């Protein structure tokens, strides 16, 4: 179970991170999909709106990819070190991600002459495209990952005669 508080201390007494290959693979797939969608939206922005569209799409996509990847990596790290705290950290990380993106939008909205250097519509397009690609990839990966529902307890080998005696 992911919330099993097993003691993972090594010989020196330090806690060690449990191997979590699922998180690393999911992060890689999501970053790849987010990057690919960022390239597509940036190309469309450059064709239809020139350099302002290109800068807007790349800025929106880049910021979103950075925020989502760091949040995912933080939650995966905590899930490996302290599984019992992973839900709390995930909720706090998600809230922080939304607040950071909203704060960036407020700062950009207050900037003078923004439309000449960055197209706000393409910025939003970059954010939405990367967030959708990210979400679809993580759902796809979660549906196909072979993650055990629970861990079976490890018992010593017992002969059939010992079982009947119990």
CA dist., res. 4 & res. 2, Å (int): 6
Distances (CA, A) of 120 to 55, 132, 142: 10, 18, 33
CA-closest candidate to residue 41, choices 106, 103, 131: 131
- pLDDT for the residue 79: 85
- pLDDT for the residue 164: 61
Token digits for 159? 């002969």
Is the Cβ–Cβ distance between 33 and 133 less than 8 Å?
Answer: yes
For the chain, the straight-line distance linking the first and the last C-alpha, in angstroms and rounded, comes to 27
Burial category of 127 from C-beta neighbours within 10 Å (exposed 0-12, middle 13-18, buried 19 and up) = buried
Residues 6+ apart with CB under 8 A from 140: 29
Block residue for tokens 């704060």 = 103
- pLDDT for the residue 14: 47
Mean pLDDT by 10 residues, the chain (166 residues): 48 51 78 94 95 94 94 89 90 93 86 82 94 92 76 66 59
Token digits for 15? 């806690």
Q: How crowded is the C-beta side of 164, counted as CA atoms within 13 Å? A: 3
Is the Cβ–Cβ distance between 49 and 115 less than 8 Å?
Answer: no
Phi and psi dihedrals of 25, rounded to 5? -65, -40
pTM for the full model? 0.73
């Amino acid at each position: 179970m992911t919330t099993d508080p097993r003691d993972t201390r090594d010989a020196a007494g330090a806690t060690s991170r449990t191997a979590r290959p699922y998180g690393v693979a999911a992060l890689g797939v999501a970053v790849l999909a987010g990057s690919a969608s960022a390239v597509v939206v940036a190309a469309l922005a450059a064709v239809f709106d020139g350099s302002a569209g290109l800068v807007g799409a790349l800025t929106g996509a880049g910021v979103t990819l950075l925020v989502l990847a760091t949040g995912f990596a933080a939650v995966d790290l905590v899930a490996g070190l302290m599984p019992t705290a992973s839900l709390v950290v995930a909720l706090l990380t998600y809230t922080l991600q939304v607040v950071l993106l909203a704060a960036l939008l407020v700062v950009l909205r207050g900037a003078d002459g923004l439309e000449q250097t960055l197209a706000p519509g393409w910025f939003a397009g970059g954010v939405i495209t990367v967030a959708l690609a990210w979400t679809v990839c993580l759902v796809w990966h979660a549906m196909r990952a072979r993650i055990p529902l629970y861990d079976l307890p490890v018992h010593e080998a017992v002969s059939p005669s010992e079982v009947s005696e119990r």
